[in-house]
């Protein structure tokens, strides 16, 4: 009898769920994103994988395209450049974004609204406009901070954008345009920490530094991991910045400085779409592998 009652209750629950309009509305709202994800994410990715495994005649060649692009003389330098850039960019992002968010949440809380707006404002500029603005700022002959550049020993734009400086310069540009949005996100994550927890720590005599290191940062670790994954994925796609700098340098910077540029050269200079797809899949595998590592190490999907 108990079993029959439980069965009837579960049937009534399923009946109510089936008639629940809110559940159907949720599917409607999600459907638009799913269509766009399939049309502009999943299907192009599958097509790129297919191109990377075939030749120009559509014949399967296995890993032949990957081997051919890997042995290209531009492959190693391009991935070395992007690796150095990611090292500088991610280190600056992780440290400075968390630090600025903690400052906005603490001592600078009264002015946090204005500061968050100012931090976010550079992100409103498109990538091309941002790079052009920085090219003017970095030109000692036209920059408003020209005297500072001269004091550092740089007399021309070519000296400023020398190949050895590019990882740091691109990191500065990326931080200037992208950090503001992450500061807003991290500030919101810090606001989710109950005030009772912070107040209890202060009553126990914890300093501001101890509260940040032992309470606030550990409680927003998943948000930091989320930021790291998306910033890494965006960083591997670097294209606009080195492409414009290569044009502005009149050949001083190679037009295959980043893997995305090299893929562009394969596709639109050599007409080799299969090789370009292989490079794209290389970046996809690299991004998925690093994302999986961060997810499992940070427990991103673990329930609290």
Is there a contact between 249 and 240 (Cβ–Cβ < 8 Å)?
Answer: no
Could you read off the pLDDT tens digit of each residue along the chain, which spans 304 residues? Answer: 444 544 555 555 455 545 566 667 888 888 888 999 999 999 999 999 999 999 988 899 989 999 999 999 999 999 999 999 999 999 999 999 999 888 888 766 666 677 777 777 776 666 667 777 888 888 888 888 888 888 888 888 888 888 888 999 999 888 888 888 888 889 888 988 888 988 898 888 888 889 888 999 999 999 999 999 999 999 999 998 898 888 887 778 888 999 999 999 999 988 999 999 999 999 999 999 999 999 888 877 777 6
Give the C-alpha separation, 242 to 222, whole Å. 31
Give the C-alpha separation, 284 to 295, whole Å. 16
Q: What is the DSSP letter of 20?
A: -
Q: What is the reported pLDDT for 21?
A: 65
Distance of CA 259 to the CA centre of its chain: 16
End-to-end CA distance of the chain: 38
Q: What CATH number does domain 74-298 carry, 3.30.420.110, 3.40.50.300, 1.10.357.10, 1.10.3720.10?
A: 1.10.3720.10
Give the C-alpha separation, 289 to 268, whole Å. 28
Structure tokens at 191: 């606001």
- Provide the residue ranges of all domains of the chain, joining segments of one domain with +: 74-298
Give the C-alpha separation, 158 to 245, whole Å. 10
Q: What is the DSSP letter of 251?
A: T
Give the C-alpha separation, 86 to 228, whole Å. 11
Structure tokens at 197: 């927890």
Q: Which of 178, 189, 175, 176 is CA-nearest to residue 225? A: 189
- Give ∠ CA 70-72-73 in degrees, rounded to 5: 120
Q: Which of 241, 222, 136 is CA-nearest to residue 178? A: 241
Q: What is the DSSP letter of 216?
A: I
Q: What is the reported pLDDT for 1?
A: 46
């Amino acid at each position: 009898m108990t079993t029959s009652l439980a069965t009837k209750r579960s049937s009534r629950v399923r009946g109510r769920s089936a008639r629940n309009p809110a559940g159907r509305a949720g599917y409607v709202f999600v459907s638009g994103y799913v269509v766009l994800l399939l049309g502009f994410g999943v299907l192009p990715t599958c097509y790129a994988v297919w191109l990377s495994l075939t030749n120009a005649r559509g014949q399967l060649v296995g890993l032949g395209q990957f081997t051919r692009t890997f042995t290209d003389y531009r492959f190693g330098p391009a991935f070395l450049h992007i690796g150095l850039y990611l090292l500088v960019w991610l280190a600056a992002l992780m440290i400075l974004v968390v630090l600025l968010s903690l400052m906005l949440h603490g001592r600078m809380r009264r002015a946090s609204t204005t500061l968050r707006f100012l931090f976010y404002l550079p992100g409103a500029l498109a990538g091309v406009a941002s790079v052009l603005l920085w090219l003017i700022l970095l030109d000692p002959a036209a920059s408003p901070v020209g005297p500072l550049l001269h004091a550092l020993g740089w007399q021309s734009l070519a000296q400023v954008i020398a190949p050895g400086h590019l990882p740091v310069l691109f990191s500065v540009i990326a931080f200037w345009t992208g950090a503001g949005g992450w500061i807003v996100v991290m500030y919101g994550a810090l606001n989710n920490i109950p005030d009772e927890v912070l107040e209890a720590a202060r009553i126990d005599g914890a300093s501001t530094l101890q509260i940040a290191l032992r309470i606030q940062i550990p409680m927003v670790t998943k948000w930091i991991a989320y930021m790291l994954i998306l910033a890494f994925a965006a960083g591997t796609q670097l294209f606009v910045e080195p492409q414009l700098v290569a044009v502005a340098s009149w050949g001083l910077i190679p037009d295959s400085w980043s893997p995305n540029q090299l893929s562009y050269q394969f596709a639109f200079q050599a007409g080799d779409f299969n090789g370009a797809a292989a490079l794209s899949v290389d970046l996809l595998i690299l991004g998925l592998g690093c994302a999986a590592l961060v997810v499992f190490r940070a427990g991103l999907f673990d329930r609290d």
